[in-house]
Amino acid sequence: MNDQLRSELLKLRTTRTAGAFLLVAVALTLLGAFAEGLSGTLDELAQQDTQRALFAGAATSAAFMATFVGLLALTSEFRYGTIRSTLLFEPRRRVVLASKLTTAALAGILFGVVCVVLSFVAGFAILAARDVDFALTGAQALVIVFGPILGSALSAMLGVTVGALI
């Protein structure tokens, strides 16, 4: 199992597709943060709902792109024929699928962390530039931080399972 997991992590690190999807997720996160933070008035930006939308924009882009990474983790092996060598090395399909699910979950966590950090950096910069105080409570902030990370991991795993069904 450990060798298969290392192999899947190496495949994910050495292909450019995952990096490209991460860049797209970063761009969508920043676009969403700036669109939400700069479009409203100061009174609207001071409200909790608007700030929740400002900081939670990372959830959508991270989960969406992580789903594609998970989907491509399995389907690209069938497309390029590398699934044969994977299954020759490890003939137990449940081990291969478990390794792909674990790798996709780790990629989803990475996507979620990067997008949440960028969302908070951009959000705090916008709030400081527009001279608006942070209005969210600690519990709301924790949900906004850990929700997209967990959601991205689950979305990436969902991508692997859909790819296995296809």
The Cα 111–Cα 118 span in angstroms is: 11
* pTM (two decimals): 0.89
Q: Is residue 155 predicted with pLDDT exceeding 80?
A: yes
Which among 108, 112, 106 is positioned nearest to 5, based on CA atoms? 106
Burial class (CB in 10 A: 0-12, 13-18, 19+), 162: middle
Which pLDDT belongs to residue 70?
93
Burial class (CB in 10 A: 0-12, 13-18, 19+), 113: middle
The Cα 121–Cα 30 span in angstroms is: 10
Q: Is residue 25 predicted with pLDDT exceeding 90?
A: yes
Say if CB 52 and CB 127 are below 8 A apart: no
* Poorest-pLDDT segment among 10-19, 46-55, 68-77, 141-150: 46-55
Say if CB 126 and CB 51 are below 8 A apart: no
Q: Is residue 10 predicted with pLDDT exceeding 80?
A: yes
Q: What percent of the chain has pLDDT over 90?
A: 49
Structure tokens at 34: 């700036």
Which pLDDT belongs to residue 83?
87
The Cα 108–Cα 61 span in angstroms is: 11
Which pLDDT belongs to residue 59?
80
Q: Is residue 165 predicted with pLDDT exceeding 80?
A: yes
Read off the pLDDT of residues 61-112 as tens digits, 9 standing for 90 and up: 899 999 999 999 889 988 988 889 888 888 899 999 999 999 999 999 999 9
Q: State how far Cα 114 lies from the chain centre.
A: 8
Which residues have a Cβ under 8 Å from the Cβ of 109 and sit 6 or more positions away?
149, 152, 153
Cβ count near 117 (within 10 Å) = 14
